[in-house]
Amino acid sequence: MSKHLNLTLHVWRQKNAKCDGKFVEYPAANISPDMSFLEMLDVVNEDLLRRGEDPITFDHDCREGICGTCSMVINGRPHGPKERTTTCQLHMRSFKDGDSITLEPWRAEAFPVIKDLMVDRGALDRIIAAGGFVSVPTGSPQDANALPIAKEKAELAMDAAACIGCGACVAACPNASAMLFLSAKVSHLGLLPQGQPERYTRVRDMVAQMDAEQFGTCTNHGECEIACPKGIKMENIARMNRDFIKASLTNRSVVS
Amino acid sequence: MSVAEQSIAGAEARGHGFLASSVGRKVVMAATGVVLFGFVTVHMLGNTQAFMGSEAFNHYAEFLHSMLHGGGIWIFRAVLLASTLLHIWAAVTLTLDNRAARPVGYREQQPMASTWASRTMRWSGVILAAFIIYHLLHLTLGSVHPAFDHANPYSNFVKGFQVPAAAGFYIVAQLCLGLHMWHGVWSCTQTLGLAHPRFDACRRHFATGLTLLVVGVNISFPLAVLAGFIH
Amino acid sequence: MELNSHIPEGPLEQKWSKHRFDLKLVNPSNKRKYKVIVVGSGLAGGAAAATMAELGYEIECYCYQDSPRRAHSIAAQGGINAAKNYQNDGDSIRRLFYDTIKGGDFRAREANVHRLAEVSNNIIDQCVGQGVPFAREYGGLLDNRSFGGAQVSRTFYARGQTGQQLLIGAYQALERQVGLGKVKMFPRHEMLELIVVDGVAKGIVTRDMVTGEIESHVADAVCLATGGYANVFYLSTNAKGCSGTAIWRAYKQGAAFANPCYTQIHPTCIPVTGDHQSKLTLMSESLRNDGRIWVPKKKEDCGKPASQIPDADRDYYLERKYPSYGNLAPRDISSRAAKQACDEGRGIGGTGRGVYLDFEDAISRLGQKKIEERYGNLFEMYERITDENPYQVPMRIYPASHYTMGGLWVDYNLMSTIPGLFVLGEANFSDHGANRLGASALMQGLADGYFVIPYTIGGYLATIKPGTRIKADDPAVKAVEETVTDRLHRIFSIKGKQTPTHFHRELGKIMWEYSGMGRNEAGLKKALELIPQVREEFWNNLCIPGTGQEVNQSLELAGRVADFLELGELLVLDALNRRESCGAHFREEWQTGDGEALRDDENFCHVAAWEYTGEGKAPARHTEKLTFESLHLATRNYK
Ligand SMILES: Cc1cc2nc3c(=O)[nH]c(=O)nc-3n(C[C@H](O)[C@H](O)[C@H](O)COP(=O)(O)OP(=O)(O)OC[C@H]3O[C@@H](n4cnc5c(N)ncnc54)[C@H](O)[C@@H]3O)c2cc1C
Ligand code: HEM
Ligand code: HEM
Ligand code: SF4
Ligand code: F3S
Ligand code: FES
């Protein structure tokens, strides 16, 4: 059992979307290094509750790095200092006794703050709804093995499909661009034969929805790639740009 | 707010044009950027004739102006002008979009991958714009030139750079060009979808190499004049 | 209350196709006139909502997360079963059916399980069609692994993220319907009550978790696909938000709750590190294919680092007790064995509640490279959490509450005892009997959602006239809404000192101690004394800050804990009344000489379905007899 930590938190508190928020300082006393980051916040919140104060609101669910719910910027990095690790999988041993930790919500026009560190990421769902799917009604597909897929292709598609929709890429991007998120879906489906029929309409529609949601554009800063807890690569953005150019050149609908 | 309460624009409801879309404008920026870099590189090569003395240089200028019975240069000027204007238009609109995309900033943000060059593209760009204007007035129109002689580009070139302030501004501008190129050359391959893990290493090296070459040679001109090496 | 399972006549193999033919159809032009509410967007709910929308019904889908894609199905690692027999190793619908019944220790319905095995193959086709990137062979065909004590390779998987990939497939199908305007999605909405009018399900009351608004939503039918209630143990492999609230509310409105005591413990989870622990993380069972499980023979060795304990002083207890299955013995068996070892004081790790899962031999036999290929991502995850490198020191694991076979009672059509209320996925009790085999829950969730409910719902809707739906402002509806607001007021008015988590933890300790891996009469009776005490204190000493008209995570939790405090009691009561051991339900009084579960088929070859009889009244225990026509009852033997 290594020794316990005493930390100071600077947390963004904001009652709701309308009020403006501010940073509030909280002590986090004797924290076990074995705790996960969220368990540390649980401890802080339990005290606040017992003192009848409003605990810090933050999104979380699975706490095993797969649901993509947890979302906070820790000391200027989405999901904190450990690469390829979500906030819920981050452990306190990544911090030193006496550290002070700044906690902020994802910041983007497309992600309005709901309360404290909780934001509304509905925009990502709407981007999927605009085209991030294969149109195959239940019962219609042929036998699963009727269509062999090269292992390498399947693996590449899986790499892209690993995206958990957390939005850290947007939070990290200096332009608040969602390109890494989009490109992960466009690549996942575009690499597979099942995704071919809608390959080009998909990328057009998803990009259009992304623009409608007020995300920024990619100027190839590469911050998203490093912040991504699932290691989604910028290579996907290049692939998506490729498809988008092709889609636009082959688009028969009159250009406005 | 439930997803249902917000509109998912249907494909046709959008009829979304290439130039209206963010990615489309980004592609325009890259394509025009390639033209501009292409020009700058060729331009740099052409200018090296300055080292071969007035004969060669004036002859080269003469050739430029007489291509296709003098029409060539206008075609090429048109392309250049259009590219620059498109590029600036895309740059400005996208920059505004990106500002709007994050109205509230972070108290702390640790850059992990982005470079100083990538974060200052708009500024290096703006300075380049200013430079281009000055440069045209200086060596093409001569309006800001101490002793401009339409017939003798070589002397314009030499006399122009004998003014330390002018030479100094050229040098600063070339450094901005360097920043802009270093990120731009790498970045545009990504934007145009040419990036691929197999070539990623060379992409960086190519950008670095081309930048050093263009900037290095370009800077050598004013220096050479100041040093009296070209006179 | 009569429990009519509505199993179709005819031979087992033809029941489902015959039933599909016999079911009434809804006139296509009428479909859009029917509205169906689906609570839950996991594999079961997501698949059901998307498919019913494709058929033309008007769908509303609810989930408590901020996006339907985050339902806890996302966390499933291992894989999904299907009887494709691509490996040509003798698999068949019949074998999958048999394995599932046997795995469930003969406490599930033959007809349901056979239907499950039949549609399992369509599921794989559907998912591949959606672009689920299942693992493949170099030839480009689908790969399989063997899983959870099955002798054939029938498990399809996508790295360690099968649940995620299947859910994203269903989620994309769902979002497509949202985009087409056929599904109205309500994320961050928690169902707090079921609306039942004249004995028929008419809708739900929800709380908007952002604005705090209490809203009534009415429909022609309601489907609950709200997952399992394993969080009644506080610590489990479930997500923090998983709760029993939806099904518990339905139970209190008259839906029978079947076999609440059938809860599964997963043998390989990362052990607890301290009181701060908020959830437990599962390490995929596939690890047991190469890892060897052991504890020190001598208590005094427990403190030592594993490397200093010579092989002679190690007790590979599973290999010792179950030579033929060894480390692959089924979940309930290996879980109990681990508990036993720790109870004997031979547990390892800081808390003494842990056993080793050792890859030393596998690494020296196959080389680290191979092990990395097979389990790389799992080893990473383990190191991320424990800060120990499993390539060098053995993993520490311990069983954890994981899955609940029990749930709302449903008939062959997945309809509960309340007409118009259907229950899908882990929320119902249907297919796993007393124990679930690995990789079968994903199969069941998707079977219910893609291939069962879309047919059976029509059979129900065809019996009601379109346009006769009750209005949301009907007094009967408002009355139900009242009860919800009242309950919330009551919670705020307590103004005590303790946090909801405190009570949840207390309940969890009791459940785990007396109703966990091993159960006995005395312990269960003790639990029946303790739980009401905690509940009592909860309603007198709870403190919830803020108001109901805003985001209030403490309030959300309090509501869930309040329901767990009641559900837990029913679970214990059921365990007490099932005087036999079967599958995951282990009553210490009923075991063979060598500690195997001892079934009592004379008296307990039935489903126990509990009926709510009113506040403070003892619930009524009804039974549905289980008859096995196609199989004969046999004792499980994994030796
Ligand atoms: C860690 C882990 C690993 C697993 N691995 C495997 C495996 O390898 N193979 C396998 O076959 N099975 C596995 N399982 C089991 C399997 O994942 C689940 O049984 C199955 O996914 C349940 O799906 P579901 O749709 O029924 O419920 P869930 O996926 O849990 O969905 C529940 C839905 O209901 C919603 N909801 C719940 N309550 C409310 C409410 N009151 N109001 C509104 N909405 C509500 C939630 O928002 C969610 O959308 C695993 C389970 C866990 C926990
Ligand atoms: C004239 C004023 C200019 C402005 C305001 C400007 C601005 C910008 C901006 C904001 C970007 C986006 C950053 C990025 O995408 O990485 C950019 C990119 C670029 N610029 Fe400029 N620039 C200007 C001039 C030039 C010139 C003169 C050249 C060539 C010599 C050039 C070449 C490029 C290239 C190649 C890119 C990369 C495009 C991409 O990555 O898609 N720019 N410019
Ligand atoms: C130190 C570096 C440079 C030198 C010495 C230089 C020199 C010259 C000279 C001598 C001319 C006049 C040619 C003629 O009219 O016959 C010229 C024209 C021009 N230069 Fe440069 N230049 C340099 C850098 C640049 C850069 C970086 C750019 C663009 C970003 C640029 C853009 C132009 C343009 C647009 C013209 C006008 C061509 C025309 O006549 O249409 N130059 N340059
Ligand atoms: S790409 Fe990475 S960072 Fe972005 S949403 Fe997906 S998982 Fe999160
Ligand atoms: S950080 Fe932003 S600029 Fe592009 S490469 Fe990533 S989206
Ligand atoms: S809580 Fe699910 S990923 Fe962090």
Ligand 2 contact, A219 CB (< 6 A): yes
Check if the beta carbon of residue C477 is closer than 8 Å to that of residue C470.
Answer: yes
- B33-39 average pLDDT score: 97
Interface residue A201 vs chain B (CB under 8 A): yes
| CA nearest neighbour of C551 among C215, C212, C245, C213 | C212
State ipTM: 0.95
Contact B1 C210 (CB under 8 A): yes
Give the E-state strand segments of B29-104 in sequence order: none
Choice between B13 and C31, residue whose per-residue pLDDT is larger: C31
Q: Which residues of C touch B2 (CB under 8 A)?
A: 184-189
pLDDT tens track for C354-401: 999 999 999 999 999 989 888 888 898 899 999 999 999 999 999 999
Task: Give the pLDDT confidence of C121-141 residue by residue, as tens digits.
Answer: 999 999 999 999 999 999 999
Phi and psi, residue C558, nearest 5°: -55, -45
Q: How far is the CA of A57 from the centre of ligand 4 (A)?
A: 22
Q: What is the pLDDT of residue C595?
A: 78
Low-confidence residues of chain A: pLDDT under 70: 1-2, 253-256
Whole-number pLDDT of residue B230 = 87
pLDDT tens, residue by residue, A166-219: 999 999 999 999 999 999 999 999 999 999 999 999 999 999 999 999 999 999
CB of C260 within 8 A of CB of C571? yes
Q: Of the residues C38, C64, C281, C284, which should be mutated to test ligand 1's pocket, given the most ligand atoms within 8 Å of the CB?
A: C64
Share of chain B above pLDDT 90, in %: 77
Provide mean pLDDT across the span B17-24.
Answer: 90
- Chain A residues whose CB is inside 8 A of the B118 CB are 219-222
Using pLDDT thresholds of 50, 70 and 90, give the confidence band for residue C618: very high
Q: Can you tell me the mean pLDDT for C508-535?
A: 97
Q: Which of residues 12-31 of B touch A (CB under 8 A)?
A: 12, 14-27
**Buried (b) or exposed (e) across B167-184, using 16+ Cβ within 10 A?**
bebbbebbebbbbbbbbb
Instruction: Kindly give the distance from the C-alpha atom of residue A61 to the centroid of ligand 6, in angstroms, as a whole number.
Output: 6
pLDDT in tens, C551-571: 999 999 999 999 999 999 999
Name the residues of C annotated as catalytic. 331
> Which of B23, B100, B195 faces A244 most closely, judged by CB atoms?
B23
> What's the gap in Å between C126 CA and the centre of ligand 1?
19
What is the predicted pLDDT for the residue at B67? 84
What are residue C185's DSSP bridge partners? C61
Strand pairing partners for C266? C400
Quick check: A69 and A119 in contact, CB under 8 A?
A: no
Res B4: pLDDT:
37
Residue B5 has pLDDT above 60, yes or no: no
**Any idea which ligand is nearest the CA of B190?**
2
A232 lines ligand 4 (CB under 6 A): yes
| CA C438 – ligand 1 centroid, Å | 14
How many Cβ atoms from other residues are within 10 Å of residue A124's Cβ?
30
B175 band by pLDDT with thresholds 50, 70 and 90: very high
Residue range C263-312, pLDDT digits in tens: 999 999 999 998 899 999 999 888 998 999 999 999 999 989 999 999 99
Q: Tell me the mean pLDDT in the region B169-173.
A: 97
For C198-227, what is the mean pLDDT? 98
pLDDT of residue C149: 67
Instruction: Give contacts of A 65-84 with B, CB under 8 A.
Output: 73, 75-77
Report which protein residue has its CA nearest ligand 3's atom 18: B140
Average pLDDT, chain B: 91
Q: What is the pLDDT of residues B60-77, one digit of tens each?
A: 999 998 888 888 899 999
Q: Which of C39, C69, C72 to mutate to test the pocket of ligand 1 (most atoms within 8 A of CB)?
A: C72
Say if residues C448 and C44 touch (Cβ distance below 8 Å): yes
What pLDDT does residue A159 have?
Answer: 97
